[in-house]
Amino acid sequence: MFITLLIATFVIAFLVSSIMILVFKTPIDKILNRIISDEISSAWTRYIKFAIYVTGISSGVRIHSLEKYITKPMVEHAEIVQLNAERWVLEVYRTVIGTLGGIAWMLLVFFIFALIAYVIARAFELKNKAKNKEE
For the segment 72-88, what is each residue's pLDDT rounded down to a tens digit?
A: 777 777 776 777 888 88
Rounded Cα–Cα distance for residues 37 and 40 (Å)? 8
The enclosing H or E element of 100 equals helix 85-134
Based on the structure, what is the number of domains in the chain? 1
Among 9-13, 42-46, 71-75, the minimum mean pLDDT is found in: 71-75
pLDDT tens digit string along 15-27?
Answer: 999 999 999 999 9
- Whole-angstrom CA distances from 40 to 37, 46, 50, 106 are 8, 10, 16, 21
For residue 135, what pLDDT is reported?
66
pTM > 0.75: yes or no: yes
**Over the stretch 95-106, which tens digit does the pLDDT of each residue have?**
999 999 999 999
Range of the domain at 130: 2-134
Residues 114, 59, 78, CA angle at the centre, nearest 5°? Answer: 160
